[in-house]
A and B are shown apart, each in its own frame.
Chain A
C-alpha cells in the first residue's frame, strides 16, 4: 500500500458525459501528479500540482482539467468524454524538497467510456 488513495476504482460512463476522479496523496506530500495509461498511448504524464498550484503540464487535453484543494487532495475532471478516453488514470504524490523525490502511485481509476 503506497498511501495514495484514488476513488472510484472503476467508472463506466457514456460518451459526452463528464466525470471526476479523486486522489488523496500520502500524508505530508505536497505534490500530486496525474498520469493516463492507455493501450494506444502507454503511460503519459498529464499534470502536476504542488501545494495547490499547477507546477507542470504534459499531454493533457483541453477537455480535461485538474485542481488541488487546500487539504491537498486533487481532482481530475474529464468532460465531453470520448471512447478514446477509456484508460487507467493514476495519481502519484511526492514529498516536498529540492532534490528529486520518489513518486508513490495510487492503485488507479479504470475509466470505461461506452
Chain B
C-alpha cells in the first residue's frame, strides 16, 4: 500500500506571508498525487493534482505544488496567504497506474492557521 507523510501537523503563518506545506510519499512505482483542502464542517475539495507532465502544478486559490520524483515529495506552496486559507490540508496519493483502482491514500493532514 502507498503511504503519505505530512511532516507538519500545524502551520501558523501571518497573513500575506508565503507558506509551504510538506508532503512525502512512499512508492516504487509511478503515482498520481493530490492536495485537498477541508474547511471547517465541510467535505474535501481538490486544490490541485499531478498526473503527468510538468512537475509544477497550479491549482485553485493561488496554490501550486511541485512534484519531485527523486525526493518523492509533493510540497504545496502559496506566495501570499489570506485569512480565508485557514483550513486543513491533505496530501493524497493514488496508485491507479499500478492497480487500476482509483482510491486515495491520505496523509494525516496539516492545519494551516493564518494569523491577521
The CA of A99 and the CA of B102, in the complex, are separated in Å by: 9
Count of CB-CB pairs between chains A and B under 8 Å:
55
CA distance A33 to B102 in the complex (A): 9
B42 within 8 A of A: yes
Q: Write the chain A residue with the least CB distance to B109.
A: A42
B103 touches A33 (CB 8 A): yes
Tell me the smallest distance from the CB of B10 to a CB of chain A, in Å: 15
Q: Flag if B32 contacts A100 (CB, 8 Å).
A: yes
Inter-chain contact B102/A94, CB cutoff 8 Å: yes
In the complex, B101 has a CB within 8 A of chain A: yes
Which of A13-21, A69-77, A103-111 contacts its partner? A103-111
Q: Let me know if B44 and A105 touch, CB within 8 A.
A: yes
Interface residues of A in 46-105 (CB under 8 A from B): 48, 55-56, 58, 90, 92, 94, 99-105
Contact A90 B90 (CB under 8 A): no
- A35-B49 Cα distance, complex, nearest whole Å: 19
Q: State A105–B36 Cα separation when bound (angstroms).
A: 10
Closest partner residue, chain A, to B49 (CB atom): A102
Report the separation of the CA atoms of residues A53 and B36 in the bound assembly, to the nearest whole angstrom: 27
A30 to chain B, nearest CB (A): 11
- Using a CB–CB cutoff of 8 Å, the interface residues on chain A facing chain B are 2, 4, 31, 33, 35, 42-45, 48, 55-56, 58, 90, 92, 94, 99-108
* Chain B residues near A (Cβ < 8 Å): 32, 36, 42-46, 49, 51, 90, 94, 96, 99, 101-109
